A and B are shown apart, each in its own frame.
Chain A
Amino acid sequence: MKYLRAIAAALCVVGCLAAHAQTQAPPQVLVMLRVAAPHLRAADGYDAGYTAAPDETARLRIARQLAHQYGLQLVDNWPMPALGVDCFVMRIASGQSTGDITRALSNDARVESAEPRQAFHTLGGDPLYALQPTATRWHLAELHALTTGRNITVAEIDSGVDTANPDLTGQVVERQNFVDDGGYRPELHGTEVAGIIVAREGNGVGIAGVAPQARLLALRACWQLADGDAASACDSFTLAKALQYALEKRVQIINLSLSGPSDHLLQRLLDVALSRHVTVVGAVDASVADGGFPASYPGTLAVAGEHAQAHGTDAWIAPDEDIPTTLPGARWNMVNGTSFAAAEVSGLVALLRALSPDMTPTTLHDALAARTALGLASMRPMAIDACAAVAQVSRRCTCDCVTAHASLGVPRR
């Protein structure tokens, strides 16, 4: 069934491309005219107002003059206050060169800028995107309209990451090996976790990471035990080296999709990280009563899977089954487990911190608990509502505005 959905999604993409190929945009040029910042006018204090400032008539008149002078037809206009301009659309007569008209307009002192009106088409997207639990449950595409994790650095302390996968090419800013003196090795688990966090979006292959514009540090502190098996081992020394390096690099998020016994050295390093407001995300080990270390360590964002067995930790819940992600090489596959639920939450935290870089752990906790703010906060573990979290931090409408803001009390925008 899932493969049928993937095929249907691919067919839809092909169909959309074909439809756009048939669209032929008329030759038009976009002409931008500057808008003065609000200021006193002759009649101010007498009988005028800013909402109905009359100066747009001046720009409309200039646009008409330009159209007449260059033999164009004024067909539309739209204010773009974010750029401080009004944009006028002008149709180019047959026989005129779009390039010549654009250059002439650009050199006109009355014009802020001019450019041809160009046709765009949607790209292939990520064929497996529709299968991602975060695509449907977290409304990932809608979240990405507001935040993509830009300028947030995530340290993935795991086994090696293969950047040869097209979804990871260019997504990893640095790879370091803390396992041995040998070279960095691409491995399964690290590559799978990396894809969930930062896989390239809209590149026509594979998946979209939760935070596709975050910067990933792939710190290899674990090693794969057997070919073809993602099971990997680490030790406190390799992990400590990797944590130390992450602290040196001033990362904002550390993803630890691993578990083991409590360790003093690692606890001290985590204390430093937490004191710097680094978000430490740890995967809950469902086979251990307390969820295992570091998930059980106070201050760590412990993440459990939806289908994990009940446990006593104050864990956050994220999708953990049938998650498509990257494999070494140009391959993808479905994975299951809390490692990947933690990776999803690391990506989500990157989205939130991109919106509010200086957010405190308390603010982050409140955002993740946004959906449970109406009397359900005592329930543990807590399922994360990514839309509500982003809405709370961004103070903007996300996903289904009505649903998101019914629990937030945020004005719909």
Chain B
Amino acid sequence: MFRIVVVALVVLFAAQAHAQMTGSATLASDYRFRGTSLSNDQPSAQLALDYDWPSSGWYAGGMMASVRLDPENAAQLLVYGGYVHRFSTDFSVEGGVRYTRFTGSESYAYAETYAGFAYRQLVGRVYYAPNYFSNGYPVWYAELNDSHTLSGHWYAFAHAGYLRRSGDVSDYHVSRFRSDFQVGIGLSLQPCNVRLSWNTSHGAPDAVVGYPSAAGATRNAWVLSISYAW
């Protein structure tokens, strides 16, 4: 799967040399993903690359991030591709696929498809992963993200996510649902971007959802991140 996506990306890049490419590097005090820490509450470095073909609506990209699983240092590799259609100035819809794997003893590789919309600054998406983190069961995840410009270069943002794990959870005697939330403020000084957020999650514990996070990882965390784009 990973090779197929990489080949597809290479073909896309070759098909149109004049894509808009954006690179960004991020240092974060914690790597929070859907309410769990993939860095065992430790700092993480991330390198992302995004390609846009605005005239066609296609886009693709990838990311590498340092993680700490099981709890060993490892790296995450992520690629994605999708299509977005703008219906009006304020409204657009998109769909695509994202593939993730990790280095180390376990790859936890999985792919997920997604569909979503954007209305002004409000973004909603639904993801479906048939084999979430290689655990053998499907997971649905829905999220809403919003952000608003404050005065000057400041802005506020918020996120709410809701996850449903399929399959048998009777052994755990806990809920199959999990919610996560994030609120924060950001300072955009292009090409730099600084963000401070409060993250929390409720519901099913990491083990039920299948996250390879280290034991003792917290559910609540402040996260400070600094990004540089080029």
Q: Mark B1-25, 1 if CB is under 8 A from A, else 0.
A: 0000000000000001010111010
User: Which stretch of B171-179, B186-194, B206-214 is in the interface?
Assistant: B186-194
B-to-A contact residues, CB < 8 Å:
16, 18, 20-22, 24, 26, 28, 31-34, 46, 48-50, 52-55, 57, 59, 61-63, 65, 78, 80, 82, 84-86, 89, 92, 94, 96, 98, 114, 116, 118, 121, 123, 125, 143, 145, 147-149, 155, 157, 186, 188, 190-191, 193, 195, 197, 223, 225, 227, 229-230
User: Which stretch of A6-14, A42-50, A227-235, A286-294 is in the interface?
Assistant: A42-50
Q: Judge if A19 is at the interface, Cβ distance under 8 Å.
A: no
Chain A residues lying within 8 Å of B195, measured Cβ to Cβ, are 47, 49, 52
Q: Judge if A226 is at the interface, Cβ distance under 8 Å.
A: no
Known: A42-B62, A47-B32. A54 touches B227 (CB 8 A): yes
Chain A residues lying within 8 Å of B186, measured Cβ to Cβ, are 49, 51-52
Complex Cα spacing A42 to B48, Å: 6
Q: Mark A166-181, 1 if CB is under 8 A from B, else 0.
A: 0000000000000000
* Minimum distance in angstroms from A164 CB to a CB of chain B: 42
Known: A51-B157, A54-B229, A109-B18. A46 touches B116 (CB 8 A): no
Pairwise interchain contact B157-A42, C-beta atoms closer than 8 A:
no
Known: A57-B229, A61-B230. A40 touches B116 (CB 8 A): yes
Pairwise interchain contact A36-B20, C-beta atoms closer than 8 A:
yes
Pairwise interchain contact A55-B20, C-beta atoms closer than 8 A:
yes
Minimum CB distance partner of A43 in chain B: B48
Q: Judge if A62 is at the interface, Cβ distance under 8 Å.
A: yes
Number of interface residues of A (CB under 8 A): 33
Q: Mark A25-65, 1 if CB is under 8 A from B, else 0.
A: 00000000111111111110111111110111111011000
Minimum CB distance partner of B121 in chain A: A50
Chain B residues lying within 8 Å of A34, measured Cβ to Cβ, are 20, 54-55
Complex Cα spacing A169 to B63, Å: 63
Complex Cα spacing A405 to B22, Å: 43
Pairwise interchain contact A43-B63, C-beta atoms closer than 8 A:
yes
Complex Cα spacing A54 to B63, Å: 14
Chain B residues lying within 8 Å of A37, measured Cβ to Cβ, are 54, 57, 84-86, 92, 94, 118
Q: Judge if A81 is at the interface, Cβ distance under 8 Å.
A: yes
Q: Mark A141-173, 1 if CB is under 8 A from B, else 0.
A: 000000000000000000000000000000000
Pairwise interchain contact A51-B52, C-beta atoms closer than 8 A:
no
Chain A residues lying within 8 Å of B114, measured Cβ to Cβ, are 40
Pairwise interchain contact B80-A40, C-beta atoms closer than 8 A:
yes
Known: A35-B54, A38-B92, A47-B225. A52 touches B188 (CB 8 A): yes
Pairwise interchain contact B223-A47, C-beta atoms closer than 8 A:
yes
Chain B residues lying within 8 Å of A58, measured Cβ to Cβ, are 20-22, 50, 52
Known: A42-B80, A57-B22, A61-B230. A52 touches B193 (CB 8 A): yes
